[in-house]
Amino acid sequence: MATLSDIARKTGVSISTVSRVLNNHPGLSIPDETKSLIMETAERLHYRVKVGKRTAGKHKIKRVAVIGFMSESYNMNVPYYSNIRHGIEMECRAQGLDGASLHFEWSDSVRSYATFIDYDGIIVIGNNEEAAEYFDKTDRRVVFVDTALHPERYSSVVPDFAGGTRQAVTHLLSLGYESIGYLGGANEPNIHYPRFITFKSFLEDKELYNPSLVELKGEWTAKSGYDMASECLSQGRVARAYFVANDPMAIGAMRAFAEAGLRIPEEVAFIGFDDITDLAAYVRPPLTSVHVPVETLGRFGVHLLLNGFADDSEPVKITVPTKLIVRESCGSRNQDEIGDGR
Out of 132-146, 166-180, 253-267, 325-339, which region has the weakest mean confidence (pLDDT)?
325-339
pLDDT tens for each residue of 109-123: 898 898 898 898 999
**What is the location of CATH 1.10.260.40 in the chain?**
1-50
Q: What is the Cα–Cα distance from 82 to 136, expressed in whole angstroms? A: 26
Out of 26-30, 131-135, 266-270, which region has the weakest mean confidence (pLDDT)?
26-30
Q: What percent of the chain shows pLDDT beyond 70?
A: 89
DSSP code of residue 115: G
| pLDDT the model gives residue 98 | 79
Mean pLDDT of 17-26: 71
DSSP characters over 289-338: EEE--HHHHHHHHHHHHHHSS-TTSPP-EEEE--EEE--GGGT---TTSS
Domain 161-292+322-330, CATH number (from 3.40.50.11540, 2.60.120.200, 1.10.390.10, 3.40.50.2300) = 3.40.50.2300
Is there a contact between 250 and 270 (Cβ–Cβ < 8 Å)? yes
pLDDT tens for each residue of 76-90: 778 899 999 999 999
pLDDT tens for each residue of 241-297: 999 999 999 999 999 999 999 999 999 999 999 998 778 989 999 999 999 999 999
pTM of the model: 0.79
Q: Which residue has the higher pLDDT, 19 or 155?
A: 155
Q: How far is CA 55 from CA 79, 103, 311, 315, in A?
A: 34, 22, 6, 14
Q: Which residue has the higher pLDDT, 75 or 48?
A: 75
Is the per-residue pLDDT at 301 higher than 80?
Answer: yes
Instruction: Identify the helix (H) or strand (E) that includes residue 229.
Output: helix 222-234
Q: What does the CA dihedral 307, 313, 315, 318 come to, rounded to 10 degrees? A: -40
Strand partners, 274: 291
Task: Spell out the CATH class of 1-50.
Answer: mainly alpha
**What is the location of CATH 3.40.50.2300 in the chain?**
161-292+322-330
